[in-house]
A and B are shown apart, each in its own frame.
Chain A
Amino acid sequence: MKVKLLFAVILLLLLSSLSFAQDDSAEIDTSAVVEELVLPAPPGNLSGVDKPNDHGHSIDLSWELSPDDGGGLNTVLQYDIYHWVPNLMLELNLVRDSISVIQKIIRKTTNGIIEGSQADSMKKVFEKLSRSELFDVRNSLTEYVKKGNKGLAEACKSYPEGGAWLFLDKKPSGTSTFDHIGSKEFKSSGFVPDFANLYYRVDAVTADGAKASSNILGPIQSSGQWYNTFRTPVVFSVLLFTLLTVFFVQKARKGADLYVRPLGGIEAVDDAIGRATEMGRPILYVLGLGSAADIATIASFTILGRVAKKVAEYQTELLVPTYDPIVMTVAQEVVKSAYLDAGRPDAYKEDTVHFVTQSQFAYVAAVNGIMLRELPATNIYMGKFFAESLILAETGALAGSIQISGTDEIAQIPFFIVACDYTLIGEELYAASAYLGKEPVLLGSLKAQDYAKAAIIVLAVIGVILAQFDFGTEFVNLFEVVN
């Protein structure tokens, strides 16, 4: 009961300040003619469309430049863009602001965030409340905004009564387009409702402050789309590539002999494990800094599985320090299964795969420490690597280890090539798992990649030839993808 009463009082306070806010908006709306000033010609033919291929809540505006922009009196300095909002929206914005203030008081992060007299007065009101009351009021206000938003579309129908023009943005002279990207979050003050009647106006403004308004655009509605037509080339490419992969996988299943070129780095893995066994030293496997969602890390798991199986067979020690706890969990499962497959589940130790830290250079320090203390016979780096790649590889080289690396990070490949004995470059990392297993199904996908690459080379050559005859742009546009 107490909270409800409190909520009602706060809401009353906010609503009473609405008139103040509306006065503000009236002040912003300075379209009134100033007699002494020479008005510029207004921008013409303001039009707008719902922004295509988006999640909604956005409108693309365009207009014809004022005749006095770059010509005529040449006095236009900028264009001010306004949109009309119902009173309900202004009211909800005030409530949103107060939610934001409460949120900051709860989190005690008020430094430099609460600005303006209105927010300051809100702060004074809310600071008197206890923590539990703050939570209750915040939840009640959030619920109020949620319900209020549902009525926005209806409120927008009342145009031009019961609302005000709000300033959105300004654009320099010479500009004839503006994308009103609204927020989809109902808690945000920039929220633009979908399927609601929206109205816009553009004012040409001179350096003296004289303004001339365009025609009023509206009603216009925004909505989200169910298919992004800009990404059609990607759909075709992925479908073609999928078909190619399925075709070669089926072919491989039927027993076709698929040639895959040898990968030096992968062929060296067996020798490296053998070397470690002979020397009685461990093998260090580094999965890099990637998360378990990175494809490079997923490929690295497969290689780790093969390495762990060999290690278990040869009864050598394996060390896998990890950077990410999820990667650690997956790697533990991979290594455990590999030991089981090798018939040596007893040889598996829980601390074979262990977590170190999620700080990049602290991880480097730990792995370098392992290298210099344990002196592993072989270091294998497979996955995502960043600035730490050379520090790791050079320390490994100093420790006298045989080093095999593989990454899809372009910037790190040269470092690995210089400091390691064998390096898998880019896609070779993904191919390694198929190559290690020699399973026809996996080799099939490699063949599909080869054919896709051949197709890309052919298309690149066609593009170069067409560019010589000025057809290059049209050809390139066929493959254009806009995000």
Chain B
Amino acid sequence: MKRQLPFLLVFIFGAFMTIQYYIPHESSEFVYTFLLDWTMIIGIFALALGIWSLYQVSVEKIKHKKENWVYSYVTLFGLFIMVVLGFTFKVGDSWGLYSVFVIALMAFLYCLINASIAKSKGLWFGLSGVALVVLLGIAYFDDSWGVAFMTSEGLRNTMFTNFADFVMTPILATMFALLAFFIASAAYRAFRARNVLASLLLVSAIIVMLRFNPYMPFGLPELIAELSNWLMNVPNLAAQRAIVIGIGLGIVATSLKVILGIERGYMGKG
């Protein structure tokens, strides 16, 4: 039963979702959105598991002093401090003891991490207890800032927004920008004329690149533009459509296999 129940659930909900596609009625939409809400709820609970997994992996790295283990502290501090910043907001004109609170929070995290890896656990747990008392004390007595769990005020916390806008966003943009260099190196490898097909690819690429080169609008023969359009709209599009049709059939076949219980690999029953 333990093994059969998941397949039964997959069949029932899979079959419902298939039939639901053909039923526009409100009640069908209601059940559909209700089920989608459940995926969100499951996702939120799974996120807790994810964070626990990240914590464990990072602590393991620190424990065994693996390569670049110090960065694991950055990961954990970043993770938990940003959460706290996102739930707190300034009430008065100044932040009061907020910076002491953040430092105490970092100390608490540091002691807690060391308590789970060090041999002298008692000492670290004691220190984390002290840090926790300081944390709660500041949170209780300092009226210059507040905690908001139910409203979005924390997301307007300047410390939170500054970290997000001036640290996180530029780092992510830098990662994305690397793509430009990787495209250049990948293009170099792809366009090497090693055989007839690779040479054809090279010639096609040159034609398309010339067409879209902003510095060559004058003197570009009309033939090049027409040839480029033809390459994009005929052979390229035809190949893409062929792949899309294949993907569509593959999706239907895989969905059928999953609903009918033929494909069980996703449950580790491969």
- A433 vs B258: C-alpha distance in the bound complex, in angstroms? 12
B129 CB within 8 Å of chain A: no
Taking a contact as CB atoms under 8 Å apart, the answer to whether A453 and B152 are in contact is no
Taking a contact as CB atoms under 8 Å apart, the answer to whether A224 and B254 are in contact is no
Select B246's contact among A54, A328, A426, beta carbons within 8 Å: A426
- List A103-119 residues whose CB lies under 8 Å from chain B: 106-109
A contacts, CB < 8 Å to B: 53-57, 106-109, 184, 194, 224-228, 231, 234-235, 238, 241-242, 245, 249, 292-293, 295, 298-299, 301-303, 305-306, 309, 322, 324-326, 328-330, 333-338, 341, 350-351, 354-362, 364-365, 369, 373, 387, 390-391, 393-394, 408, 410, 413, 415, 417-419, 425-427, 429-431, 433, 437, 441-442, 445-446, 448-449, 452-453, 456
B56 CB within 8 Å of chain A: yes
Distance between B35 CB and nearest chain A CB, rounded to angstroms: 11
Q: How large is the interface on B (under 10, 10 to 19, 20 to 34, 35 or more residues)?
A: 35 or more
Taking a contact as CB atoms under 8 Å apart, the answer to whether B265 and A433 are in contact is yes
B50 CB within 8 Å of chain A: yes
Residues in B neighbouring A336, C-beta threshold 8 A: 268
Residues in A neighbouring B247, C-beta threshold 8 A: 408, 410, 426-427
B contacts, CB < 8 Å to A: 18, 21-29, 39, 42-43, 46-51, 53-54, 56-57, 60, 67-68, 151-153, 171-172, 175-176, 178-179, 182-183, 185-187, 189-190, 240, 243-247, 249-258, 262-263, 265-270
Select B51's contact among A56, A184, A241, A355, beta carbons within 8 Å: A355
Known A305-B268, A390-B179, A427-B246; contact A53-B24, beta-carbon cutoff 8 A: yes
Residues in A neighbouring B268, C-beta threshold 8 A: 305, 333-338
- A293 vs B46: C-alpha distance in the bound complex, in angstroms? 14
Taking a contact as CB atoms under 8 Å apart, the answer to whether B186 and A415 are in contact is yes
Apart from A334-B270, A387-B176, A430-B254, list 20 A-B contacts with CB within 8 A: A108-B153, A225-B25, A234-B22, A245-B256, A303-B265, A325-B47, A326-B43, A330-B266, A357-B54, A361-B171, A390-B186, A391-B178, A394-B185, A410-B244, A410-B247, A419-B186, A433-B265, A437-B270, A442-B262, A448-B253
Residues in B neighbouring A437, C-beta threshold 8 A: 270
Select B23's contact among A227, A301, A358, beta carbons within 8 Å: A227
Taking a contact as CB atoms under 8 Å apart, the answer to whether B266 and A108 are in contact is no
Residues in A neighbouring B251, C-beta threshold 8 A: 295, 408, 430
Taking a contact as CB atoms under 8 Å apart, the answer to whether B270 and A224 are in contact is no
